[in-house]
Chains A and B, each alone.
Chain A
Amino acid sequence: MAAISREEVAHLARLSRLAVTEEELDTFAGQLDVILQAVAQVGKVAAADIPPTSHSVPLTNVLREDVETPCLTPEEALSGAPDAEQQRFRVPRILNEDLAS
């Protein structure tokens, strides 16, 4: 059984605002399936006594003090922007979406 369906790939493409053609959907679904199947191998060796990890280094509590560091100038900040206006990043409107929080 495939690890990811063609519909799931289409859904992911929509969430990522990627215009994917019907042909590409077939291609990507196949490629992603191979990748996911490979990663799924890890699941076979995972046992209850091995906690899942999100980090390769066993570190915790890497914190910094609440001390200011210099910011970029607005010119520097906007230098890589495709477009700017009123010292702000100018982007196409996104509708039917909202703030994350």
Chain B
Amino acid sequence: MTTTLPSYDDVVARYEPVIGLETHVELGTRTKMFCGCRTDFGGEPNTRVCPVCLGLPGSLPVVNKAAVEATIRIGLALNCSIADWCRFARKNYFYPDMPKNFQISQYDEPICVDGYLDVEVNGETVRIGIERVHMEEDTGKTLHVGGATGRIHGATESLVDYNRAGIPLVEIVTKPIPGTGSLAPDIARAYVNELREVIRSLGVSDVRMEEGSLRCDVNTSLNLPGQEWGTRTETKNVNSLRSVERAVRSEMLRQASVLDAGGRITQETRHFHEDTGDTTPGRSKETATDYRYFPEPDLVPIAPDRAWVAELKAALPELPRVHRRRLQEQWGLSDLDMQSVLNAGAVELIEQTVAAGATPAAARKWWLGELSRRANETGVELVDVGATPEQVAELQGLVDAGKLNDKLARTVLEGVVAGEGSPTEIMTSRNLEVVSDTGALTAAVDEAIAANPEIADKIRSGKVAAAGALVGAVMKTTRGQADAKTVRELILARLNVEA
């Protein structure tokens, strides 16, 4: 189908989007949801399995208390009510990613319900309703082989590794979010980002989208103003914050072109493609009835003790929004400046850099400047750019001590990012230290004066601004390794001119 897509502005002028997000978070517990198998990432295939997570006959699941606690804490941080009593349910389906032929999940009795998360977009606060937070178990990893491409189409066989099967998973489902208009993609992204921050602050998951410990499905529908909500599609495989935004946008455009042509939207699962930014249809959505949910007979209900819940609530850490307000004040930033720090994912990095000894201004300069540019170029998150807060603080320390000028510091930083060592090591090994040997500098200054007698005369006659040309000449002979301010002072001193 080669229909031309309408423009985004045109779409939001004529249609109203409703979005919804389902986010899966792998908990960072030591062991799985229902058995004592370890959960750490990596590991040879099928080395973290036991009779329970392999679904062998006669094995029985037992719930991991740490996973229940982590889920309750997430629910509390999202302002949810914690159920007095809840149960697990079997979700039956035929696919080899679960060896039992069902997944243990929660269905009509989730542990946390009815909360909200406040999200900031363009300086406005948007309250996103949380429908539910429930516990379930992750699935195994399937590798499709036998086909030409290794992708599911054309594959003849699947190879399954159950290391991930049974890892505690928390699913967080928003209420439908109407009324966001053209901001729908931004709000979707801001929500996932804020949710990630909240969960990270609780320390219950490493929430790394690229490793799959936070995964997102995005529901999108369009309707004409004043009419009922449209049929929604569910886009899966959305694995970065940028993709969340792109997936909503591209699905809005696609649905608008279908509706414009007089077509109807099919309720289906669609797959997001990182490379093209498009979605393509997956299977038609099975209905809840097809999953034949029923209460899990091998597990007894969970009834969280009220005193325990109160204790967990009292012990919640400062939430990211509050924390950010405090930092913004400490750092003396405007809302706009703070927003750019947030957008760059640099809050924690700057905080740690300041803790390691740099001033807030210097820390912000490096993370939002050189390092953000570098992260953008290489397409990685800022946190993975290759420099640590300690290294950035050390670099700034060298600048403050006059050992590096700005240009040299940037060269050293490139070395740090390339993994050549600490700033001090790189400065020494690459011989980048500012020339502070006054003898050598004076010689370079004298040379510049001798080579430019007219300029020297101008300076002597009081045109101090002309010194810039000589500074440039000295910087050239010292290959940039001199401190411009020192050079300037030296030039004026050699020419007996008051600064």
Seen from chain A, the residues whose Cβ lies within 8 Å of a Cβ on chain B are: 12, 15-17, 54-55, 57, 59-74, 77-78, 80, 85-101
Contacts and interface: CB of A to CB of B under 8 A. Distances in A.
Contacts of A93: 144, 146, 152, 155-158
Nearest to A60: B303
Contacts of A88: 45-46, 143, 159-161
A12 B300 CA distance: 27
A85 B296 CA distance: 32
A17 B290 CA distance: 13
User: Max chain A CB contacts within 10 Å: which of B56, B87, B301, B305?
Assistant: B301
Contacts of B103: 100-101
A100 B93 contact: yes
Contacts of B45: 74, 86-88
Interface string B37-75: 110000011111111001010000011111110000000
Interface stretch (B23-31, B179-187, B309-317, B454-462): B23-31
Contact of B94 (A59, A66, A71, A94): A94
B103 to A, nearest CB: 4
Classify the interface of chain A: helix, strand, loop or mixed: loop
Interface of B: 24, 29-31, 35-38, 44-51, 54, 56, 62-68, 85, 87, 91-99, 103, 105, 136, 138-139, 143-146, 152-153, 155-162, 169, 171, 236, 269, 282-283, 290, 292, 294-297, 299-305
A67 B296 contact: no
Nearest to B97: A99
Given A99-B97, A100-B97, 10 more contacts: A12-B292, A15-B290, A63-B68, A68-B36, A71-B38, A91-B160, A94-B96, A98-B282, A100-B91, A101-B171
Contact of A72 (B50, B63, B155, B161): B50
Contact of B65 (A63, A71, A90, A95): A63
B300 A91 contact: no
A79 B160 CA distance: 14
B158 A94 contact: yes
Contact of B95 (A62, A64, A69, A97): A97
A63 B283 contact: no
A100 B65 contact: no
B158 A92 contact: yes
A68 B46 contact: no
19 contacts: A54-B301, A55-B300, A62-B62, A64-B63, A66-B30, A67-B30, A68-B36, A69-B36, A85-B145, A86-B159, A88-B143, A89-B99, A89-B161, A90-B157, A90-B160, A93-B155, A97-B94, A98-B283, A99-B95
Contact of B46 (A60, A77, A91, A95): A77
A85 B159 CA distance: 7
B54 A77 contact: yes
